[in-house]
Amino acid sequence: MKNISIIGTGYVGLVTGVCLAEIGHNVTCLDLDKKKIELLTLGVSPIYEPGLDELMASNMERGNLHFTSDTMMALRVADVVYIAVGTPQQEDGSANLSYVFKAAQDIGRNITRDVVVVTKSTVPLGTNYKIEEVVKAYLQGNYRVDIVSNPEFLREGSAVHDSFHGDRIVIGADSPAAADLIEEINQPFGLPILKTSISSAEMIKYAANAFLATKISFINEIATLSEKVGSDIVEVAKGIGKDARIGSKFLDAGIGFGGSCFPKDTRALVKISEAVDHDFRLLKSVIEINDRQKTALVKKAKERFGSLKGKRVALLGLAFKPNTDDMREAASISISKRLLEEGAEIIAYDPIAIENAKKVLPPEVQFVEQIEDAIKKADVVFIVTEWEEIVNKALILSSLFMEKPILFDGRNCYTEEEIKQYPVEYIAIGRKPIKKTASLSAAASY
């Protein structure tokens, strides 16, 4: 068991801390936000993540998971300190590293023994060496400090699962002893471990996210082309995904990617490239395609109706993906703004993310607590996030409650056979529209 301190109790820091406690380490999570720490100390998680609350409660009860806003208390007995603070995007697309360097200063001022500093935050190439310089500049004693880059590859909505069932753990270090220590700490996860240089570990994180983002934008471009030539993107994606060299993951056409990682990291990698005089044209296109794709449903609705003025649109799903309340870079933000520009009214529903959505969506958006209430009031239904509840109910409720049911599906949730069971006009991404074919009797059993 190691004494581990985690600086930052955001998404990455909290999940990392809880899961390290679960495999037997003594973990202290530090955050300067005292209100957040008060909630965490009471066992209340500030984020929605399946399975996290239960693990947090059990490890607090066992006495190996602690929360504090006292920097000195958190760091003075640590053998290993993880930096897991935010690196928000600046206006020019580069990463804001001020929180990272503040954490480095705090480490230098407060450690009382030799320490390995592990960077979990996603940082540009070369940042780990700067962290090392800052820590050493603020040291209050003659202590050894080694730096390790240990990027996270957690998917929001399945982060706890990924911690125990991931593809690999990357450990980037110049010190073999530091790399061995972090390998020992992570050994109980039972995942493949890849040891690299610090610079390679930094690049692996950005390259992985950029590649996955590229797959998404690629399939969305193929979807746009499929609409024009009469192909079905669901069949096309299935066909190319069978190729082991390509794989089926991240080939779901839709309304683009969002969240805290892909948008920020792709733009940051473009800025990193510019700093070394490299024009990363491919990634610039990926970003451009994704920005355009977010409002594809609005474009389709405008083509279908001619004008959206006065139309009441039900937005089903607001978070950037299911099983999270994260609204960062969510497609619902771009969609709602564009709909309001077109003169539409918006009735919005999400099973988890409504409170966070109220903070970022335009004030004109109306929110309801039940999916039925959104659809009953709507002239048009948009599926924006493929929550299980939404997929299970949208077709049926549209048939029951709408005078002229029309559904725009931004996530291609249904097969043609499922759609044809209901009297719904259906327009999706990369597929031919389906007109009403079934009778209301198909939905009568709801």
Q: Is 232 annotated as a binding residue?
A: no
Q: Is 65 annotated as a binding residue?
A: no
Q: Is 125 annotated as a binding residue?
A: no
Q: List the 115-119 sheet strands across, edge first.
A: 65-68, 26-30, 3-7, 80-83, 115-119, 145-149, 169-173, 193-196
406-409/425-427 β-pairing: parallel
Q: Is 435 annotated as a binding residue?
A: no
Q: Is 180 annotated as a binding residue?
A: no
Q: Is 36 annotated as a binding residue?
A: yes
Q: Is 277 annotated as a binding residue?
A: no
Q: Is 252 annotated as a binding residue?
A: yes
Q: Is 113 annotated as a binding residue?
A: no
Q: Is 196 annotated as a binding residue?
A: no
Query: Alpha-carbon torsion 321, 314, 350, 446, what sign?
Result: negative
Q: Is 156 annotated as a binding residue?
A: yes
Question: Tokens for 439?
Answer: 């009778």
**Helix (H) / strand (E) containing 406:** strand 406-409
For the chain, what is the largest distance between any 2 Cα atoms, rounded to a whole number of angstroms? 79
Question: Tokens for 311?
Answer: 């139309």
Q: Is 122 annotated as a binding residue?
A: yes
Q: Is 379 annotated as a binding residue?
A: no
Catalytic residue, from 19, 29, 261, 413: name it: 261
Q: Residues with Cβ < 8 Å from 174, sequence gap 6 or more?
A: 146, 147, 197, 198
Q: Is 312 annotated as a binding residue?
A: no
Q: Is 205 annotated as a binding residue?
A: yes
Range 32-37 contact pairs with CB under 8 angstroms and sequence separation of 24 or more: 32/69, 32/71, 33/9, 33/69, 34/69, 36/9, 37/9, 37/67, 37/68, 37/69
Active site residue 413: no
Q: List the 380-383 sheet strands across, edge first.
A: 366-367, 345-349, 312-316, 380-383, 406-409, 425-427
Q: What sections of 247-310 are H helices per DSSP? A: 262-275, 281-293, 296-305
Task: List the beta bridge partners of residue 124.
Answer: none
**Binding site listing for NAD(+):** 31, 36, 87, 122, 156, 264, 328
Active site residues: 261
**Binding site listing:** 31, 36, 87, 122, 153-156, 205, 250-254, 258, 264, 321, 328
**Binding site listing for substrate:** 153-156, 205, 250-254, 258, 321
